[in-house]
């Protein structure tokens, strides 16, 4: 039986939603799904090398004033960082991470080397549309 496919459009660059995406990705990896992640607009900033896992450079989309409490709780519970969730999933199953070319340029990233080593390529929005059409599950975070 062919693996089910998850298409994830990752719009947000906030640590709370990136963490949520990491948890979803972990579940998809445990279910041996094929996953295509399209990094759009604000998320492209989070994937830049100088940002990545640097929590000081990431905001919170929900309840911004609670960032310190959120981060402290994640540490206390020994929850992986969003980058660790993504790396682990890539090691377990077929996960491809595509940076939107326009989004990358918005944040000064024009080549793959400008982004953390999780990124597989830079593509246009058409690749996301095609992937979303072909996916069993399509999520927009």
User: Domain 5-140 maps to which CATH number in 2.40.110.20, 3.40.1260.10, 3.40.50.970, 3.40.710.10?
Assistant: 3.40.1260.10
- The per-residue pLDDT for 55 is 86
Best CA proximity match to 139, nearest among 41, 21, 60:
21
Best CA proximity match to 22, nearest among 1, 49, 47:
47
Handedness of CA 25, 28, 32, 33 (dihedral sign): negative
Best CA proximity match to 102, nearest among 120, 121, 125, 118:
125
Name the pTM for this structure. Answer: 0.94
Domain residue ranges of the chain, discontinuous segments joined by +: 5-140
Q: What value, to the nearest 5°, has the Cα angle with vertex 51 and ends 34 and 42?
A: 65
Low pLDDT (below 50) residues in the chain? none
Return d(Cα 5, Cα 130) in angstroms, integer: 12
Q: pLDDT (tens digit, 9 = 90+) per residue, 17-57?
A: 999 999 999 999 999 999 999 999 999 999 999 999 898 89
- The per-residue pLDDT for 2 is 80
| Phi, psi of 5, rounded to the nearest 5 degrees | -115, 130
- The per-residue pLDDT for 1 is 66
- The per-residue pLDDT for 72 is 95
- The per-residue pLDDT for 137 is 97
- The per-residue pLDDT for 126 is 97
């Amino acid at each position: 039986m062919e693996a089910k496919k998850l298409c994830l459009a990752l719009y947000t660059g906030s640590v709370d939603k990136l963490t949520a995406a990491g948890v979803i990705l972990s579940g998809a990896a445990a279910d041996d799904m094929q996953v295509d992640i399209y990094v759009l607009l604000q998320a492209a900033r989070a994937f830049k090398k100088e940002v990545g896992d640097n929590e000081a450079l990431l905001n919170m989309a929900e309840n911004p004033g609670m960032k310190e409490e959120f981060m402290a709780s994640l540490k206390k519970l020994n929850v992986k960082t969003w980058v660790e969730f993504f790396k682990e999933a890539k090691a377990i199953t077929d996960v491809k991470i595509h940076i939107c070319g326009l989004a990358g340029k918005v944040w000064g990233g024009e080549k793959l080397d400008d982004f953390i080593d999780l990124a597989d390529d830079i593509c246009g929005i058409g690749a996301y549309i095609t992937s979303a059409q072909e996916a069993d599950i399509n999520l927009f975070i």
